[in-house]
Structure 1
Amino acid sequence: MFKVTLRVGMLVAAMAVATSCVNDLDRVPKYEVTSASVYADPANYKAVLARLYATLAVSGQQGPAGKPDISGIDEGTSNYMRLYWKLQELPTDEAKIAWNDATIQDINKITWTSSDGFITAMYNRIFYLISLSNEFIRETTDAKLAERSITGQAATDAKTYRAEARFLRAMAYFHAIDMFGTVPFVTEADAPGSFLPRQATRQELFTYVESELKAIETELAAPGAAEYGRADRAAAQAILARLYLNAQVYTSTAKYSEAITYAKKVIDSGVYKLEPTYQNLFTADNNLSKEIIFPITFDGTRTQTYGGMTFLVHAQVGGSMNVSSYGVNGGWAGIRSTQKLADVFPDATAAADKRGVFYTDGQQRDLNDLGTFTDGYAITKYKNVTSTGKPGSDQQFVDTDFPLIRLADMYLTYAEAVLRGGTGGDQATAISYVNLLRTRAKAAAVSSINLDFILAERARELYWEGYRRTDLIRYERFVTGTYLWPWKGGVKEGRAVDVRFNLYPIPATDLVANPTLRQNGSGY
């Protein structure tokens, strides 16, 4: 298992400082550890790669806090996964948070500005991962390996690690495309130094991510052959399927046939299987599941953070909920659902669909007050308890991994792309994939499907997994008045908002730092 130990972070931190942008190129390095010394020994490469993966999970160079990777925000709230989850879920019909930290209520209400600290932190997290990945890729080229006389298995391993770093960078740029649209563009070809990165268009970024993922597709381990927690070929194919499913939004050109092709590649590999029990996908031993294609891994003793799954499990617990049932030492009484999420299920008891795991005791269905945790049904989806009922290794920091990519999404991607006119698939197969999910959930099978059904089914299957904002935008329901939910636009009944909110703004601080950048929407 590729569970990340935080000690590798100090190595990368020293490297990041040693290779940072300074004008005085004759300056003697402050740290003894430099890129040259680290990469001279191929035994270090896997540890550095582990830190790239850890950038998704941890918030700094020691756990759980104290040496943050980025500044300007409380470290506990600055974790990549925590930020990604909040920006993908809190503005939607699936989740709201009761707290009043900084500008978090602006995210709830879709009323943010370009100076929002959480949006700025997400932007910075994306580019921090890109920067670390660029450095790793730059230092593991074939030429560099030959220069250091690294051959044989060590060279083969280094090339695989390099492909994984390219995957992580491509995924970060995919998140940038989806959230910010048009952003600065830097690769390993841009040597560290004082320069202003140019702003790439959304189309350019789309083409780049597409080409990168295709280029490394055969360089990554075969589906299921990678160490758990590391990207394999199926992970790259799944990101491509997502990219193509949203191509109409990103580039104004539909690529639904391509979405079918890449979803089929993942499905037809035969390696990934549906987890027989839905709830076992979200427990402290979900690393045993054959359905999860790419997780963000957590460990209560080795990846201690106030972000990630520690946030997600603790923050969903409050009111009259028994904290021990969730394997934690306290509830943070933060996130809960809106009634619109409950509406997509036949009932709130999970009797007719086992995926609808709502906690209703003392919780009212309607979300009348954003600041009151008991307004809105609570959710019991994530637990720091194993599938056998055993608590995680630590009750404060969580063992449960976040299922960033899993097979169910590929089934639903295939079905939606078929309904949207993609070729290479058929509706009968699409219905069969949907019914596999519904059968697992003990929900009634369906004989026909349409796009509205698929949007609702994605909510039933994938809620609170970081998909919803992207899904609503693809269905043209995120900013418009055709579909409303509580507190959309800042009012209890919900209202349409300006189209600019389909994108998060480039942070004002970056516009000042790089005068060549232009804002990605009007009115910010």
Structure 2
Amino acid sequence: MKNIFNKLTFILLASITLVACHDDLDQEPIDPDIFSELDVYANANEAKSALAKLYAGFAVTGQQGPAGNPDLNPDDIDEGFSQFSRTLFYLNELTTDHSVLGWGDAGVPDMHGMYWTASNDFTNAMYNRLGQEISFCNSFIENALGLSDGVVQTYIAEARFLRAFAYYNLLDLYGNVPIQTTVATTLPTQNSREEVFNFVESELLDIQDQLASSGSNEYGRVDEVAAWALLSRLYLNAEVWTGTPRYDDCVSFSNDVMNSSYTINTTDGNNNGTAYDELFLADNNTNGAQREFIFALNFDGIQTQTYGGTTFLVHGQIGGSMTPSDFGVDSGWAGMRVTSSLVEKFDDQDMRGMFYSDGQSLEIEEISQFSNGYAVTKFKNIDINGVPGVGTGQDLRTDTDLPLIRLAEIYLNYAEATLRGGNGDVGTATQKINELRTRAYGGTTGNITSGDLTLDFILDERSRELYWECQRRTDLVRYNYFTTGNYLWPWKGNQPNGIAVDSYRNLFPIPSNTLATNSNLEQNPGY
């Protein structure tokens, strides 16, 4: 799939083409140099290139990396800010105990201070990015349905998964959003959060048998296990999103994933005592980590240049006395650090806690000062041998892929759903947690017993295993910790010691400019 990304430049026209209103407008192009929708969907091979655009919609920001020909209107937000995983980091990590960001760009302080409005650049960018991805998927599905090649049915199932993943994020972040499954020019109406949940569920259930079998698809493309894994995540949050618990279903689909061909990476390729760090190196598509990645964004340092993705994570975490070349890049952006609440979740033997403390204070007195708060060393643009990725000397290039769903999360989903009343087995849950902790500690010294397995332990274990992987806000909302005084962290609510904030901030606002152009939509309460 990485090699397909270089075919993206001609796909945008096909992705946004609307059906003409009159037959006399439905003309084939006369200019032989014009590459049109007719060419893109001429056969299954060309359709596969269009499918690559759908995957790339989550990885890059336009037709010309890293910037210059954006998919979103650059008047609305800087192109570099609008990349999907970078924006998701702002919304799901920067708003929590996992991160602060010292940059003063408009809208950034709003995130960790928890005082964003409906005009915030990043909440707006995410809403528009996901909406655009859905439009791309709808266009692909409509056009690909005209092809008879059997493999195209798999492509369509993948497009439906990507559309469901976009809707999953809208469901989580914004709640009540329109469901649109066709290319249309009319303004959509708003659906309830429960209706969006049901749509995502029905799509994933319907396509699970149409996707490639477990482990049989090429790296970077999803298979049936991705549908099961997203269902596991969906059902874990069902009680919050619909009012109806679905923990048995979470356990069931987590079991399907755990019994699939995917395995926890245990290959300590750089011989540092743990196989955890291999998940976040430049060769994580080949070093063994790939066997754990159920859905990942691919970055190869040449075809996927962006100011977001792992470029943002690698560069943004480097500052102070840190040496950029140790991370396979030529400079640091002196941005993100972590709060003491995250650091204190690790003991000295847990090698997942990859922090840099030289010249850094544990506590944060001034967010704007990079020296306030420990830095993170989790993401690197070097391989297991310490060799930099192909982007050496280039700010905009990293080879490190970014997992959006990996098997370790499903272990944690199973354990939590079991403790919340699902029909799982506590012994199995303990065993799975210990697999993760054995990897983290390089041995069994950190293993637990079933008596240690509590909901709060699992939440802390999710933090230790998944920090900076863009799930923390969702977890804290599920535990009723995100806005309440039940759990405070430094600078929650824009106060040094943390305070509770209004509960309506469990959801982000529908963008004000979207409401201005579509009278069918209502704003989320509180905004």
Task: Name the residue aligned to 2:292.
Answer: 291
- The 8 Å contact of residues 183 and 199 in structure 1, kept in 2 or not, is answered as yes
Query: Normalized against structure 1, the TM-score is what?
Result: 0.93
Aligned equivalents of 1:78 and 1:23: distance in 2?
36
Task: Name the residue aligned to 1:427.
Answer: 426
- The 8 Å contact of residues 21 and 192 in structure 1, kept in 2 or not, is answered as no
Are residues 25 and 306 of structure 1, via their aligned partners in 2, closer, same or farther at CA, if it must alter by over 3 Å? farther
Task: Name the residue aligned to 2:280.
Answer: 282
The RMSD of aligned alpha carbons is 1.8
Using the TM superposition, give the Cα deviation of residue 42 of structure 1 relative to its aligned residue in structure 2, in angstroms.
2.7
1:472 counterpart = 2:476 = yes
Aligned equivalents of 1:117 and 1:23: distance in 2?
38
Equivalent residue letter for 2:334: A
Tell me whether 7-16 or 505-514 shows the greater mean CA deviation: 7-16
SS at match of 2:54: helix
SS at match of 1:403: strand
Using the TM superposition, give the Cα deviation of residue 96 of structure 1 relative to its aligned residue in structure 2, in angstroms.
0.8
Aligned equivalents of 1:23 and 1:368: distance in 2?
64
Aligned equivalents of 1:514 and 1:313: distance in 2?
38
Aligned equivalents of 1:87 and 1:22: distance in 2?
40
- The 8 Å contact of residues 58 and 79 in structure 1, kept in 2 or not, is answered as yes
- The 5-angstrom pairing of residues 133-212 of structure 1 reads 133-141=137-145, 144-145=146-147, 150=148, 155-188=149-182, 191-193=183-185, 195-212=186-203
Using the TM superposition, give the Cα deviation of residue 501 of structure 1 relative to its aligned residue in structure 2, in angstroms.
0.5
- The 8 Å contact of residues 209 and 224 in structure 2, kept in 1 or not, is answered as yes
- The 5-angstrom pairing of residues 253-402 of structure 1 reads 253-276=244-267, 277-288=275-286, 289=289, 290-346=291-347, 351-395=348-392, 396=394, 397-402=397-402
Instruction: Name stretches of at least 5 consecutive residues in structure 1 with no aligned partner.
Output: none
Q: How many residues align?
A: 504
Using the TM superposition, give the Cα deviation of residue 186 of structure 1 relative to its aligned residue in structure 2, in angstroms.
0.3
Using the TM superposition, give the Cα deviation of residue 23 of structure 1 relative to its aligned residue in structure 2, in angstroms.
10
Aligned equivalents of 1:246 and 1:83: distance in 2?
21
Aligned equivalents of 2:335 and 2:252: distance in 1?
40
Aligned equivalents of 1:201 and 1:506: distance in 2?
13
Using the TM superposition, give the Cα deviation of residue 271 of structure 1 relative to its aligned residue in structure 2, in angstroms.
3.2
Of 49, 52, 57, the match for 2:51: 49
SS at match of 2:341: helix
Are residues 271 and 491 of structure 1, via their aligned partners in 2, closer, same or farther at CA, if it must alter by over 3 Å? closer
SS at match of 1:287: coil
Task: Name the residue aligned to 1:3.
Answer: 2
- The 5-angstrom pairing of residues 17-96 of structure 1 reads 17-19=16-18, 26=25, 32-71=34-73, 72-96=76-100
Using the TM superposition, give the Cα deviation of residue 21 of structure 1 relative to its aligned residue in structure 2, in angstroms.
8.8
Aligned equivalents of 2:190 and 2:157: distance in 1?
25
Aligned equivalents of 1:37 and 1:438: distance in 2?
51
Tell me whether 39-48 or 232-241 shows the greater mean CA deviation: 39-48
Using the TM superposition, give the Cα deviation of residue 15 of structure 1 relative to its aligned residue in structure 2, in angstroms.
1.9
Task: Name the residue aligned to 2:133.
Answer: 129
Aligned equivalents of 1:108 and 1:9: distance in 2?
35
Aligned equivalents of 2:20 and 2:163: distance in 1?
20
Aligned equivalents of 2:85 and 2:50: distance in 1?
20
1:444 counterpart = 2:446 = yes
Identity of aligned residues (%): 47
Aligned equivalents of 2:48 and 2:298: distance in 1?
16
Using the TM superposition, give the Cα deviation of residue 24 of structure 1 relative to its aligned residue in structure 2, in angstroms.
12
The superposition leaves residues 15-65 of structure 1 with CA deviations (integer Å, 9 ceiling, x where unpaired) of 245328999994979993332332123321111001110011101111111
1:231 counterpart = 2:230 = no
- The 8 Å contact of residues 280 and 286 in structure 1, kept in 2 or not, is answered as yes
Aligned equivalents of 2:222 and 2:388: distance in 1?
28
Equivalent residue letter for 1:400: T
Aligned equivalents of 1:406 and 1:16: distance in 2?
29
Task: Name the residue aligned to 1:120.
Answer: 124
Aligned equivalents of 1:338 and 1:23: distance in 2?
59
SS at match of 2:58: coil
Using the TM superposition, give the Cα deviation of residue 514 of structure 1 relative to its aligned residue in structure 2, in angstroms.
0.6
The superposition leaves residues 169-225 of structure 1 with CA deviations (integer Å, 9 ceiling, x where unpaired) of 00000000000001111003xx432x1111111111111100100111011111111
- The 8 Å contact of residues 244 and 255 in structure 1, kept in 2 or not, is answered as yes
1:249 counterpart = 2:253 = no
Using the TM superposition, give the Cα deviation of residue 108 of structure 1 relative to its aligned residue in structure 2, in angstroms.
1.5
Equivalent residue letter for 2:357: T
- The 8 Å contact of residues 166 and 212 in structure 1, kept in 2 or not, is answered as yes
Aligned equivalents of 2:307 and 2:177: distance in 1?
28
SS at match of 1:441: helix
1:240 counterpart = 2:231 = yes
Query: Normalized against structure 2, the TM-score is what?
Result: 0.93
- The 8 Å contact of residues 59 and 65 in structure 1, kept in 2 or not, is answered as yes
Aligned equivalents of 2:161 and 2:218: distance in 1?
15
